[in-house]
Amino acid sequence: MEPVMNPESDFDLIRALVEGRLAPADAAALESRIAADADLAAFRDDYALVHGLTAPLAGLDVTSELRFEDVAVDGPEDPAAPRSLRWSPRTRAAAAAVLISLSVLAGYRFLPPRPAEAVTLSAIPLDEAPVTAAVRLPAALASYRPSDGDRIVWLDSLDQGRELAALSGRPVLVFSEYPGCPFCLEMSKVAFRDEDVLDVIDALVPVKVNLQKVTPEELEFYWKQYPYFAVQDPSGKELHVFPGMQSGESLLTGVQDGLAHTADRPAPLSWERTDRLAGLLSAATDAEAEGRLDEAWTKFGELTAATDAPHFSDAGAAGRARLSQAARGDLRAAQALAAQDPVAAERALRAAAERFEHTPLAADFDATLGVLEATGRFPRLEESHR
């Protein structure tokens, strides 16, 4: 079979045109063919867009770590390199004795050890810092609304309700019930469907506490004021308590009185904005948990930039801090390993660089690895001012 001569098709020429590599005469000829072919015209337009948008991925600046020795199964030596001297064991022993004697004579052994080369870390912190646990928001909450237009939609987890309240900048409306209790059935038909109540419920996160699922201490607390109604801040502090069976009117008054205690706080995020940021946070923490750390890094960064949503922004910053501390842990572990087994330390650094690939943290592993490979010693680590 003859090798292909690589004739260029119009698709190849369009690529050359987009990249500005086509001679004017060829470009003119191509344009006339494009004018007569709708598929080619569409391809030219689409490819120009896609070519531009994929540009950041085009410069893949990576190299392999494979060594020639790993594939030269008949022998490790580089044929281009000069052949090493082949000395007999007796000659080698004699040469070693001479070298040791000379070094002793020169006082070499009394010289202080040469300091290790330094690496200035640009992203990984050297000091251990406390980290905040990841906020794991269930994906279902990324499209939550306090009302479906017809009735209140109660969350059934106080923890999740408080989490969502903190993130969206709202107070929590807490209501306790025994499933099937006549008061509650009545309120679900009337008060919880009241149009005026539904008009204001968007400003809160309503949570229903099922008294069949609480601890004895909690049951005692809620039972004293059954049915318990309260507007609380996200930390659980009661802002306004109004227990008892509620009509639409009294529920509205209770909610409004509770909201009056939050008048000096920043306006809550819109639910649409909360949805988007909650979806982003959920995706970021999933990526973190599943080891897709470059994706997690990027998404946490997007959250950090959400300055209109301080809790989401803090969650983003905390996420990046967690990743940085995890990288610090990997780096310190490799450092500890290097004293006993430099080869294992190299392996650990390579693994960590791969784990944090495409994040700014990877560059610090690469730099450390470069020095370890070149000198055989783990570098001194310094931290740049960030």
Partner 1 sequence: MMTLDRPAFHALFKSERDRTFRFLLRLTRNHADAEDLLQESFLTVWRKREQFEGRGSAGGYLRRTAYHLYLNRRNRDERRAALTPLNGKPLSEPPADLRVERREAVEFLVERVREALAHLPEPARLVFVLFRFEGLTCAEIAELTDTHLKTVETRLLRATRALAARLETHREQMP
Q: Which residues bind partner 1 (CB under 8 A)?
A: 1, 3-9, 11-12, 15, 39, 42-43, 45-47, 49-58, 60, 62-66, 68, 70-74, 78-80, 276-277, 279-280, 283, 295, 298, 301-302, 305, 354, 357
Least Å distance between CB 79 and partner 1?
A: 5
Least Å distance between CB 309 and partner 1?
A: 11
DSSP H or E segment with residue 120: strand 118-121
- Residue 238 contacts residue 173 (beta carbons within 8 Å): no
Closer Cβ to partner 1, 80 or 105, answer by number:
80
Closer Cβ to partner 1, 20 or 149, answer by number:
20
Closer Cβ to partner 1, 49 or 94, answer by number:
49
d(CA 266, CA 170): 9
Closer Cβ to partner 1, 212 or 384, answer by number:
384
d(CA 68, CA 377): 23
Cα-Cα-Cα-Cα dihedral of 241, 246, 252, 253, to 10°? -50
* Angstrom distances, CA of residue 162 to CA of 150, 167, 270, 327: 24, 9, 17, 31
Coil/strand/helix, residue 165: helix
DSSP state of 270: P
DSSP state of 212: G
Least Å distance between CB 135 and partner 1?
A: 17
Least Å distance between CB 208 and partner 1?
A: 29
Closer Cβ to partner 1, 68 or 108, answer by number:
68
Count of alpha carbons within 13 angstroms of residue 118, beta-carbon side? 7
* Angstrom distances, CA of residue 320 to CA of 128, 223, 298, 309, 330: 14, 43, 9, 17, 15
Q: How crowded is residue 294: how many other Cβ atoms within 10 Å of its Cβ? A: 16
d(CA 91, CA 162): 78
* Angstrom distances, CA of residue 31 to CA of 7, 11, 15, 51: 19, 12, 13, 18
Closer Cβ to partner 1, 58 or 111, answer by number:
58
Least Å distance between CB 68 and partner 1?
A: 5
Closer Cβ to partner 1, 248 or 370, answer by number:
370
Least Å distance between CB 175 and partner 1?
A: 32
- Residue 306 contacts residue 277 (beta carbons within 8 Å): yes
The rounded Cα 327 to chain-centroid distance in angstroms is 13
Least Å distance between CB 142 and partner 1?
A: 9
Closer Cβ to partner 1, 249 or 373, answer by number:
373
Least Å distance between CB 141 and partner 1?
A: 14
The dihedrals phi and psi of 229, each to the nearest 5 degrees, come to -130, 130
Structure token digits, residue 16: 């050359």
d(CA 290, CA 25): 53
Least Å distance between CB 150 and partner 1?
A: 28
Closer Cβ to partner 1, 42 or 95, answer by number:
42
Closer Cβ to partner 1, 51 or 151, answer by number:
51
Least Å distance between CB 78 and partner 1?
A: 6
DSSP state of 236: S
d(CA 61, CA 220): 64
d(CA 287, CA 279): 12
